[in-house]
Amino acid sequence: MNRRPFNFSAGPAALPEEVLQQVAQEMLDWHGSGMSVMEMSHRGKEFVSICEQAEADLRELLAVPPQFRILFMQGGGLAENAIVPLNLSRGGKVDVVVSGSWSRKSAQEAGRYADVRIAADAKSNGQRAIPAAAEWQLRGDASYVHLCSNETIDGLEFHELPDLKALGCDAPLVIDFSSHVLSRPVDWSRVGLAFGGAQKNIGPAGLTLVIIREDLLGHALPICPSAFDYKTVAEAQSMYNTPPTFSIYVAGLVFQWLKRFEYGGKTGLAAIEQRNIDKATLLYQALDHSALFENRVAPDCRSRMNVPFYLRGTHDTPELNQAFLDEARERQLLQLKGHKSVGGMRASIYNAMSLEGVHALVDFLKDFETRHG
């Protein structure tokens, strides 16, 4: 088989080729069970072993401390925007740091259940930088503080999580880490709850990951659907309702791929982080040195995962944008169109994207500039 095209989709996104091959191989008979994973009772010993292994591998990869529970749920980030306040707001105050489109949506949805304050807004920086933590307007009696640690659409990433205690705030920090989960370590000492849709760095859409500190369980509002009450889900080991079994299985294979991943003399999460740094550096440098393309985010806030870029100034015409996308596709560089709300282009370079893929994109950027710049 020839090389697969390079897929820059923002999500659902590229998966490691060897994971897809294993999924295909095991499709009709998982480990001699006579069943596809899709066909297994979620309560049978086969699937329970798959689920337990996936959870253990994830815990190891992300160094999740024992006082945190790992939940496999459904609904994605948009559903969590309601499920988090239903579980944690206690009907009180919620402070949200808005760094882009996703945290803005989270703030809006939380407003159904709590008194929401926008503690800071990247709009004040022209959406090019995350406001400094020292400037955040946090309330001492907030039930929690929410931020999106990587904004998929805007391409802004927190490279360090805030220490809320040092900012005089005792509330737990909630992070939406959908689009950079498992691309780098998480400082759990600063986090109360982290959630993410699986469809960027983990596996198929339809699986939602929630990692929650145990003391935050058990505070759901009475109007919280039981299937989304974290305590209920935790007590049932994520099997209160039928979990998205096949997605958990694929996620588990991705976790095992990550555990054995080697790069730059490192293994596992440290290796993938190093490759992500190298990929991002390569792409941002190419954009910064280009007279035709630009990324507009402040260097210290640039996402390692999602790189929006635009044609500069008068070059930014619908025709040239389309020509770029068409030629990219011919070169087997897929799904580079920017999000409809911001236009332009976007390269999502998640864990499964190789350094070779980013080189191919950078070569194409230069070649396109030579011909159209």
Q: Is 89 in the site for its own copies (CB under 8 A)?
A: no
CA distances from 240 to 188, 190, 197 (A): 26, 29, 19
Instruction: Output the smallest distance, CB 73 to its own copies, in A.
Output: 9
The one catalytic residue among 30, 57, 121, 200: 200
Asked about 367 being catalytic, the answer comes back as no
- To its own copies, the closest distance from the beta carbon of 348 in angstroms equals 10
Beta pairing partners, 174 = 146, 193
Angle between helices 355-372 and 269-288 (to 10 degrees): 10
Nearest to 172 by CA among 70, 93, 99, 83: 93
| Residue 81, marked binder | no
Q: Is 93 a catalytic residue?
A: no
CA distances from 86 to 80, 113, 147, 201 (A): 9, 7, 17, 26
Site string for its own copies, 108-137 (x = CB under 8 A): -x--xx------------------------
Q: Which is nearer to its own copies, 247 or 290 (CB)?
A: 247
257 classed as catalytic: no
Whether 274 has a binding-site annotation, put simply, is no
Looking at beta carbons only, is 39 or 327 nearer to its own copies? 39
Q: What is the DSSP string of 186-211?
A: --GGG-SEEEEESTTTTSSTT-EEEE
- Is 115 part of any known ligand binding site? no
Q: Cα–Cα distance between 85 and 142 in angstroms, integer? A: 12
Q: Is residue 246 involved in binding its own copies (CB under 8 A)?
A: yes
Integer Cα distance of 326 and 173 in angstroms: 42
Determine how many CB atoms are found less than 10 A away from the CB of residue 41: 12
Q: How far is the CB of 349 from its own copies (least distance, A)?
A: 14
Owner of token pair 């369980």: 217
Catalog residues that contact its own copies under the rule CB under 8 A: 1, 4-5, 7, 9-15, 17, 20-21, 23-25, 27-29, 34-36, 38-44, 74-79, 81-83, 86, 109, 112-113, 197, 199, 203-207, 222-223, 225-228, 240-247, 250, 332, 334-335, 340
Catalytic residues, which ones? Answer: 102, 176, 200
- Give the annotated binding-site residues: 43, 102, 152, 176, 199, 241-242
